[in-house]
Structures are given as C-alpha cells and as structure tokens.
C-alpha cells in the first residue's frame, strides 16, 4: 500500500511538473524575441549604434519596433521589432538646440512657441499612434510637449522645409517647432506601418549633453558588444 500511495503521489507531482513545463514553454513562445541590431550597411554614428544594441540586443525595446533620432546628424532610423533596420532618412528637428522640453511648451502650440523653446527633447520615449487636432495621423513621441513624428506639411515658402530636408547637410535641418518631420513617402512607407500601428520606443539622441547622461542603461552595454560592427 505504501508503494502504491507513493507512486500515486509521484504521479500527481509529475502531472503538475509537466503542466508547469508546458506553461513555461508557451510563455517562452509568446515572449518578445530579442534580436541583433542591424543597420543593413547604412552609415550611423557610434552613439546611434550603441543605442540600437541596447534596444535590440539588451532588450530595452521589449520586442517592440523602435526608432533612433540622431539630432546631430539630423537622421531618423526606424527598426522593426526584430532589430533590423527598416529604413533611414533625413529629418527636420526643433529650431533651437537643446535636450529638454520647456515646462508647458505643449500648451503654447496654439498661441506660438518662442524660438528659443523650439527644442526636440532627448531621451527614451514610449511612442503611440495618434492624430493631431486636424485629424492627421501622427506618431506621438512626447505627448505633453506636443512632440510627434509627422509628414512634411506645406508651410511658408521662406522656411524652405523641402529644400532643407533634401539638402544632404544636417546644418539646415533645424526649423520645426520641436517635432520630428520626415518626407511624406518615408512616413507612409516606413513610419506608418512600423510605428503607426502599435506602440514602440523612440530614442532621441542629445545634442548638448553627453549621451551617456541621457541613456545610462545603454552606457553599460559590454565593450565586446560595442566593438562588434553593425
């Protein structure tokens, strides 16, 4: 009888153990995969590459699509959830250099944002698809500061936004109120299907502060990984 009871007890424990293993396996299958960051041969700064490693290889993006905005280079890199670059393109950025959003700047859009406050804030942002007051589809980066990724829109001819976007030089790309402005085709073909249908992460690199001070987590990515070219 003792032997039978022990066998029954073990059998019950075995069923529970098998059930736990199955649950763990199912969880592993649904958990977000962490891939290798890959710029597909495109040029990018060392800072952008380090952030990509942090996002994809270290898993900071949590298996979500992400974008890196390099303000110094006036470039945006959009990655899929697998860490592979979808595409990169020039971007227009805030007219004023700076890495902080002024308090209450989002409420100044209707009345006019002073030129000195037209910054594109740096940092790690959880993006969200949305619409502006005109009903235009955009990707919110910092909702409180009214900063989003959106298409190039018609503006006063004197701003020469289209020419600035296609000039090939980052020096003249500072013209927006703070938003990240891209070519309409790039938005429709790259941004919209990648970040415009689900939440993601947008990393905006600083232009006045050390990047390590803004992204302390990325600064601890191993030296061996940092030495591996993307």
**10 and 56 fall within a common domain:** no
Cβ neighbors of 154 (< 8 A, separation 6 or more) are none
Q: Give the largest Cα separation in the chain, rounded.
A: 94
Q: What is the pLDDT of residue 138?
A: 96
State the alpha helices, DSSP H only, in the chain.
2-30, 46-52, 161-165, 184-186, 192-195, 211-214, 223-226
Phi, psi of 37 (to 5 degrees): -70, 135
Q: What is the pLDDT of residue 112?
A: 79
Reported pTM: 0.80
pLDDT, averaged in runs of 10, over the chain (230 residues): 42 44 40 70 94 94 97 97 96 92 70 79 97 92 92 83 86 91 97 97 96 89 49
Q: What is the pLDDT of residue 58?
A: 93
Q: What is the pLDDT of residue 18?
A: 43
DSSP at 206: -
Q: What is the pLDDT of residue 221?
A: 63
**113 and 167 fall within a common domain:** yes
For the chain, where are the E strands, in sequence order?
66-70, 75-79, 85-90, 93-94, 123-131, 137-142, 147-151, 174-176, 180-182, 200-205
Six-digit token pair at 97? 């250099």
Q: Using alpha carbons only, what angle is made at residue 168 by residues 159 and 200, rounded to the nearest 5 degrees?
A: 85
Q: What is the pLDDT of residue 29?
A: 38
**42 and 70 fall within a common domain:** yes
Bridge partners of residue 94, in order along the sequence: 176
Q: What is the pLDDT of residue 111?
A: 62
**65 and 12 fall within a common domain:** no
**81 and 96 fall within a common domain:** yes
Q: What is the pLDDT of residue 224?
A: 40
Of the candidates 198, 185, 15, 159, the one whose C-alpha atom is nearest the C-alpha of residue 90 is 185
**17 and 117 fall within a common domain:** no
Q: What is the pLDDT of residue 134?
A: 87
Q: What is the pLDDT of residue 17?
A: 42
Provide the CATH number for the domain around residue 169. Answer: 2.40.440.10
Question: What domain range is 19 assigned to?
Answer: 1-31
**183 and 82 fall within a common domain:** yes
Going by DSSP bridges, is the β-strand pair 93-94/174-176 parallel, antiparallel, or unpaired?
Answer: parallel
Q: What is the pLDDT of residue 214?
A: 94
**1 and 57 fall within a common domain:** no
**19 and 44 fall within a common domain:** no
Bridge partners of residue 67, in order along the sequence: 78, 202
**21 and 44 fall within a common domain:** no
């Amino acid at each position: 009888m003792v032997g039978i009871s022990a066998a029954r007890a073990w059998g019950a424990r075995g069923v529970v153990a098998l059930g736990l293993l199955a649950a763990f396996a199912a969880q592993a299958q649904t958990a977000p995969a962490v891939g290798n960051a890959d710029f597909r041969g495109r040029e990018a700064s060392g800072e952008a590459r380090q952030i990509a490693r942090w996002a994809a290889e270290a898993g900071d993006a949590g298996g979500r699509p992400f974008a890196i905005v390099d303000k110094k280079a006036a470039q945006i890199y959009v990655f899929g959830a697998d860490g592979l670059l979808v595409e990169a393109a020039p971007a227009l950025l805030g007219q004023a250099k700076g890495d902080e959003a002024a308090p209450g700047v989002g409420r100044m859009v209707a009345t006019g944002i002073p030129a000195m406050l037209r910054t594109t804030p740096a940092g790690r942002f959880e993006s969200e698809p949305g619409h502006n007051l005109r009903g235009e589809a955009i990707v919110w980066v910092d909702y409180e500061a009214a900063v989003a990724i959106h298409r190039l829109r018609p503006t006063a001819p004197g701003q020469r936004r289209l020419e600035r976007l296609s000039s090939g030089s980052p020096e003249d790309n500072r013209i927006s109120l703070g938003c990240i402005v891209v070519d309409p085709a790039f938005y429709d073909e790259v941004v919209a299907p990648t970040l415009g249908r689900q939440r993601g992460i947008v990393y905006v690199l600083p232009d006045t502060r050390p990047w390590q001070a803004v992204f302390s987590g990325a600064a601890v990515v191993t030296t061996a990984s940092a030495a591996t070219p993307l």
